[in-house]
Structure 1
Amino acid sequence: MLESHEALEFLKIRKSVPLTQLMAPGPSEAQLSDLLEIAARVPDHGRMEPWRFILYRGSAVIKAGEALAEIALKKNGQLSDEELEREHNRINRAPVAVGVVSNVVDDSNIPEWEQFLSAGAAAMNLVTATTAMGFGANWVTGWYSSDAEGRKVLGLAPHERMAGIVHIGSYDRAIPDRPRPDVKALTSEYTGPYQAS
């Protein structure tokens, strides 16, 4: 168990690993089970559980990539060999990818946007837990997450949306940090109702 100061220091330096640097091995079944348990420990107003997880791995991922490439060809008319290869490997870029699916409960008094945020929180928990476990993670969406045919290929029902796909694997080099936001510039004290300037 991390001491509180260690946990805070870890959170200060957490970063995503580029998809091109993720490789085998991925998490074991026991580790993956732990990661999903942690991912599910998120704010969930009304205990709706408005999300679910899909594991993308093995031969099924190859078939999904072929289907996504076909859709991309149909939408774009023509793709270069490099672009076609990229479409084939959209969800086959790490030993395992976890789809975090927003499954909004319509007959609830909990707003849709709040339920969707809960799915986003599950994706972030998964990324953070994966990194803490020593693996690399990268959370992406992609055109297929906003496309009805793409979502169907990925195993989503028509009413579901993809909050993100978290690719998980090992990596063997230091990951440089990227520029981070100026939090002070993004923070203000509340002084009353909004007024346009």
Structure 2
Amino acid sequence: MPINAALRDYLKTRRSVGIGFLKDPGPTPEELSEILTIGVRVPDHGKFVPWRLILIEGAARLEAGEKLAQIAKRLRPDLDEAGLEIERRQFLPAPLTVGVILTPKPNPKASETEQLLSAGNVCFNLSHAAFAMGYAASWTNRWYGQNVEAQTMLGAKGGERFVGFVHIGTATIVPEDRERPSIDSVVTHWAP
């Protein structure tokens, strides 16, 4: 295959844009369809499709945030109004959040770990697709992605769990790059 310089350069400079720096507009329905199509084009040994997606957009962002605040208050009765407001805004200001759920399928061909990695790849591919379509993205997984009650409220079913939330919108900043590990510090050569 020939070198794809544009893709190489993008991958060398890719940087997430935090949810607080994402705003309207979000993807149009046609753009979203393309982002989702690209997002699910990931390794999936055995073709099990061990993941599914939940879209949180429009007024549903506020409703989901209000329900998260109620759950958070039950979990932490001492949570003050400022803390509750943080929970209410978990899906704001980004115009779209895609929740990626692991739906493991027991099979000797692909362990649950392999299926989890496939779902994680969906999160990362959604981020790449958003950037390719001219938007920015941030992949997170906060407390509500680990809490069973919150996961259920957000649409997970028995045996499923969220592996990430990909927030997508228009960037309000150009993020500065952060220091990356040197290759020498993280790579070794195997030797018998």
Q: Deviations over 1:49-102 (max 9, x none)?
A: 101111001222222211111111111112222211110111233100001111
Q: Return 140-149 or 178-187, whichever deviates more.
A: 178-187
Q: How does 1:1-197 map to 2 (within 5 A)?
A: 4-107=4-107, 109-192=109-192
Q: Deviations over 1:130-179 (max 9, x none)?
A: 11222110000100111110101111002111110000000233211111
Q: Which one-letter code corresponds to 1:82 in the other structure?
A: A
Q: Which one-letter code corresponds to 1:133 in the other structure?
A: M
Structure 1: where are the runs of 5+ without partners? Answer: 193-197
Structure 1 residue 129: Cα displacement: 1.4
- Across the two proteins, how many residue pairs are aligned to each other? 190
Q: SS where residue 56 of structure 1 aligns?
A: strand
Structure 2: where are the runs of 5+ without partners? Answer: none
Which residue of the partner structure matches residue 195 of structure 1?
A: none
Work out the CA distance in 2 between the residues paired with 1:13 and 1:21: 18
Question: Contact 1:25–1:169 at 8 Å: present in 2 too?
Answer: yes
Structure 1 residue 108: Cα displacement: 5.0
Q: Which one-letter code corresponds to 1:5 in the other structure?
A: A
Q: Return 62-71 or 7-16, whichever deviates more.
A: 62-71
Work out the CA distance in 2 between the residues paired with 1:101 and 1:89: 21
Question: Contact 1:43–1:118 at 8 Å: present in 2 too?
Answer: yes
Structure 1 residue 106: Cα displacement: 2.2
Work out the CA distance in 1 between the residues paired with 2:172 and 2:19: 13
- Using the size of structure 2 for normalisation, the TM-score is 0.94
Work out the CA distance in 2 between the residues paired with 1:172 and 1:143: 26
Work out the CA distance in 2 between the residues paired with 1:142 and 1:169: 19
Q: Return 19-28 or 175-184, whichever deviates more.
A: 175-184
Work out the CA distance in 2 between the residues paired with 1:108 and 1:35: 31
- Using the size of structure 1 for normalisation, the TM-score is 0.92
Q: SS where residue 42 of structure 1 aligns?
A: coil
Structure 1 residue 107: Cα displacement: 4.6
Q: Which one-letter code corresponds to 1:86 in the other structure?
A: I
